[in-house]
DNA sequence: ATACTGTATATTGTATACAATCAAGAGAAA
DNA sequence: TTTCTCTTGATTGTATACAATATACAGTAT
């Protein structure tokens, strides 16, 4: 019944979306005043939103120098890859016994859609589908905190650049990734929760062999 | 060089410490005005600190009803246990090749100190040492984001209650836990990073058999 | 031209003021 | 007594005002 959303929350959503959509990119400085003018609010809710965004990993706050969009670099990419495997694997383990028939059908559909996207060379489309694929089981893991962690870590993969990488090489990598998705689907259908956890954690998100990490 | 700390940061530390030390406990409401009076600052930095504390998992914010200390309950305890194993295990894996002789000696010392604490029935002391033990390798994992996650999750274990649980039973559980610590030390000394990860994740933080979870 | 210095402007951090909502209690009706 | 409504005070959410610091730039010296 309480549909109330504060101005702070509106500002938060506005900035978060601007970052997720790529309209703001790493290193960009956020002008408090400019946000005030665009959204027609005072600095108080704007600053409160910025502080929360910084705490949530969207921004970094240099004292007396303002807020900047957190930049993706070699190191933070490594940190994320080192963490996401265990978490995504655990999410799969927990989700496995909680999936219903529709969920499994959705997984299969997304896998085949990704195959189609690869065949057509639609890289961006593939990425979107991949996120849906992972979200599909993460959302079913029954652990809100885990969902939040995985979501936060995955944000970084939504802003990948393709331009500087050879197209054919990309296709090969995506095909390999989608072959792994096939195995993940198989394990979900078989209901093999522990095998699933191990595969997602140690193979799909392998630290050593991380085809996803092409920046 | 830039030692500047804003009032917001001071307020943050003050409240965080009050919660960590147990002076504030789950469900307690925080009065903005009272904090202002105690710390002699205006509401602006206080509110900014509260928002950040909420974003960091210390507090929850009911719209128009203020900030409350997040209460530990059955569900959030389960959520934490489901997450901490994979993360602590990964931290151990990453830390293993980065440990030096002093670190390993420190681990052994802490393990033996815990054994002493058990023998003397010093439960609180044991808990403190246990945190030092885990911190000892987590701090060496070389992944700031992971360190932050594990630290946040571990906070919840610092506020355990012992009163309502049989003392002998407690001792038995702690002895079992410390036997596991012995194995962890052994694996660190052997430099078996992958075995370490598996043991910490699947045995020490086992979901099914979680002796730590006595609230 | 380059480096330095001082001043003007812009931005951040904090305090205060105002508006909207909530909580508690007094008094009236059942 | 219980329940309802109304009012009053307290609390939260937002706007504005002020203070401290940082940035940009003009002018000067080297």
pLDDT tens by residue, chain A, 215 residues: 457 899 999 999 999 999 999 899 999 999 999 999 999 999 999 999 999 999 999 999 999 999 999 998 888 989 999 999 999 999 999 999 999 999 999 999 999 999 999 999 998 899 899 999 999 999 999 999 999 999 999 887 776 666 567 788 888 888 999 999 999 999 999 999 999 999 999 999 998 765 455 44
Specify whether the backbone of A121 is left (phi greater than 0), alpha (psi in -120 to 50) or beta: left
pLDDT at B15: 98
- Minimum CA–C1' distance nucleotide for B44: C14
Contact B146 A44 (CB under 8 A): no
Model pLDDT, residue B124: 87
Backbone angles phi, psi at B99, to 5 degrees: -75, 140
Query: Structure tokens of A171?
Result: 């296709």
A86 touches B: beta carbon within 8 Å: yes
Residue B164: its pLDDT value, please? 63
Does the beta-carbon distance from B51 to A51 stay under 8 Å? Answer: yes
Contact B155, B77 (CB under 8 A): no
Instruction: Tell me if chain B has a CB within 8 Å of the CB of A63.
Output: yes
- Structure confidence at residue B214 (pLDDT): 47
Are A50 and A61 spatial neighbours (Cβ–Cβ below 8 Å)?
yes
Confidence at residue A115, expressed as pLDDT on a 0 to 100 scale? 96
Considering Cα of B145, then B146, then B147, then B152, what sign does the dihedral take? Answer: positive
- In order of A37, A43, A51, the CA distances from A34 in angstroms are 5, 10, 16
Distance A59 CA to D15 C1' (A): 25
C-beta separation of B155 from B171 below 8 A: no
Residues B177-210 as b or e (16 or more Cβ within 10 Å = b): bbebbeebbebbeeeebebbbebbbeebbeeeeb
Inter-chain touch A90–B79, beta carbons under 8 Å: no
Q: What is the pLDDT of residue B74?
A: 86
Q: Strand order of the sheet with strand A66-69? A: A29-30, A66-69, A59-62
Which residue ranges of chain B lie beneath pLDDT 50? 1, 211, 214-215
Classify the C-alpha dihedral B150-A157-A61-A50 as positive or negative.
Answer: negative
Q: Report pLDDT digits (tens) over A138-161.
A: 999 999 999 999 999 988 777 666
Buried b (16+ CB within 10 A) or exposed e, A178-201: bebbeebbebbeeeebebbbebbb
Q: Assign B122 to helix, strand or coil.
A: coil
| Partners of residue A145 in chain B, C-beta under 8 Å | 76, 79-80, 83
- pLDDT, residue B215, reads 45
Beta-bridge mates of residue B21: none
pLDDT attached to residue A210: 59
Give pLDDT tens digits for B70-92.
998 888 989 999 999 999 999 99
Q: Is the distance from CB of A174 to CB of A212 less than 8 angstroms?
A: no
Q: Do B143 and A86 touch (CB under 8 A)?
A: no
Q: Which residues of chain B neighbour A80 with C-beta distances below 8 Å? A: 145
Nearest by CB to residue A52, choosing from B8, B55, B146, is: B55
- Answer for the pair A88, A205: CB distance below 8 angstroms, yes or no: yes
> How many angstroms away from the CA of A52 is the closest CA of chain B?
6
Q: Which among B4, B63, B82 is the nearest to A6, CB-wise?
A: B63
Nucleotides of C under 7 A from a protein CB: 11-17, 21-23
Q: How far is B215 from chain A (nearest CA, A)?
A: 20
Residue nearest to nucleotide C16 (CA to C1'): B42
**Total-model pTM:** 0.90
Half-sphere exposure of A33 (CA within 13 A, CB side): 0
Residue A62: which nucleotide is closest by CA–C1'? C12
């Amino acid at each position: 019944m309480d549909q109330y959303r504060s101005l702070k929350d509106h500002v938060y959503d506005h900035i978060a979306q601007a970052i997720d959509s790529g309209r703001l990119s790493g290193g960009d400085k956020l002008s408090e005043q400019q946000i005030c003018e665009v959204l027609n609010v005072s600095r108080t809710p704007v600053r409160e939103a910025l502080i929360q965004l910084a705490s949530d990993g969207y921004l970094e706050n240099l004292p007396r120098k303002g807020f900047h969009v957190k930049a993706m670099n070699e190191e933070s990419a490594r940190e994320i890859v080192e963490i996401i495997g265990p978490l995504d694997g655990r999410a799969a383990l927990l989700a496995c016994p909680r999936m219903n028939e529709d969920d499994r059908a959705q997984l299969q559909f997304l896998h085949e859609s990704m195959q189609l996207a690869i065949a057509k060379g639609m890289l961006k489309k593939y990425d979107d589908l991949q996120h849906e694929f992972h979200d599909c089981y993460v959302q079913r893991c029954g652990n809100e905190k885990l969902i939040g962690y995985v979501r936060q870590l995955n944000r970084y993969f939504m802003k990948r650049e393709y331009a500087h990488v050879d197209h054919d090489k990309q296709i090969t990598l995506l095909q390999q990734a989608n072959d792994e998705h096939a195995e993940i689907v198989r394990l979900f259908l078989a209901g093999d929760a522990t095998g699933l956890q191990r595969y997602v954690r140690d193979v799909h998100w392998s630290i050593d062999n991380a085809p996803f990490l092409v920046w």
